Amino acid sequence: MEPTTQDAPGTTWVAVCPLEVIARESGVAAWVHGEAVAVFRDHLDGLHALSNLDPATGASVLARGIVGTRGGVPFVASPLHKQPYRLSDGVCLDDEAVRVPTYAVRLVDGVVQVGPRRT
């Protein structure tokens, strides 16, 4: 049931939802290629896709975190223990050694699509 589009060889994009389903400064969880992905929309309508798994606990919850800014940089706070992860690259702002995997994400005709894992 995953509507997919073939972009370039080896690149599969999965349509997740219309943009308006994701409230500004929040996230949703999506099922992409057998993995849970958290898709966030920041205050400037920028889209970011991170693994939904919280590195600290392994729980599939990051999409439910509060989205805010630290020094102007958008981040999500884990809903379990509040560790802050930068939306742009998944790096933990309190400990740069910890990093959440990120995925490619784009908006096509008002629909959010998630692509392959980037990091």
Partner 1 sequence: MSPTHRQRLVVVGHGMVGHRFVQAAIERGLTETHDVIVLGEEPRPAYDRVALTSWFGSGADALSLLPSGEYDDPRVTLRTGTAVAAIRPEARTVTLAGGEVLAYDQLVLATGAAPFVPPVPGRDLAGCFTYRTIEDLEAIRAAAAARGTTAGVVIGGGLLGLEAANALVQLGLETHVVEMAPRLMPVQLDDAAGQTLVRHIEKLGVTVHTGVSTEAITGADAVDGLALAGGERIDAEVVVFSAGIRPRDALAREAGLAVAERGGVLVDEQCRTSDPRIHAIGECAAPGGRMYGLVAPGYDMAEVVVDALLDGAGTFTGADMSTKLKLLGVDVASFGDAFATTDGALELVYSDAVAGVYKKLVVSDDGTRLLGGILVGDASAYGILRPMVSSGIALPDNPEELILPAGRGGGATGVAALPDDAQVCSCNNVSKGDVTAALDEHDCEDVAAVKKCTGAGTTCGSCVGTVKAIVEDHFAKAGKEVSRALCEHFGLSRSELFEVVAIHGHRTFDEIVEAHGTGRGCDVCKPAIASILASQLNGHVLAPENRTLQDTNDAYLANIQRNGTYSVVPRIPGGEITPEKLIVIGEVARDFGLYTKITGGQRIDLFGARMEQLPTIWRRLVDAGFESGHAYGKSLRTVKSCVGSTWCRYGVQDSVGMAIALELRYRGLRSPHKLKGGVSGCARECAEARSKDFGIIATEKGWNLYVGGNGGATPVHARLLAGDLDDETLVRYLDRYLMYYIRTADRLQRTAPWLDSLEGGLDRLREVVVDDVLGLGSELEAAMARHVATYVDEWAATLEDPDKLARFVSFVNAPDLPDPSISFEVEREQIVPAGPVPLGARIPVGTPVDAAPVSGR
Q: Which residues of the shown chain bind partner 1 in the complex (CB under 8 A)?
A: 1-2, 14-17, 21-26, 28-32, 36, 39, 43, 53, 55-61, 64-72, 74-75, 77, 79-84, 92, 94-95, 97-98
CB 89 to partner 1: min, Å: 16
Q: Least distance from C-beta 11 to partner 1, angstroms?
A: 18
Q: Using the minimum distance from each CB to partner 1, give the nearer residue, 70 or 118.
A: 70
Long-range contact set of residues 2-9: C-beta below 8 Å, sequence gap at least 24: 2/31, 2/32, 5/113, 7/115
CB neighbour burial string for 69-106, b if at least 16 within 10 angstroms, e if fewer = eeeeebbbbbeeeebbbbbeebbbeeeeeebbebbebe
Give me the least distance between CB of 117 and partner 1, in Å please.
16
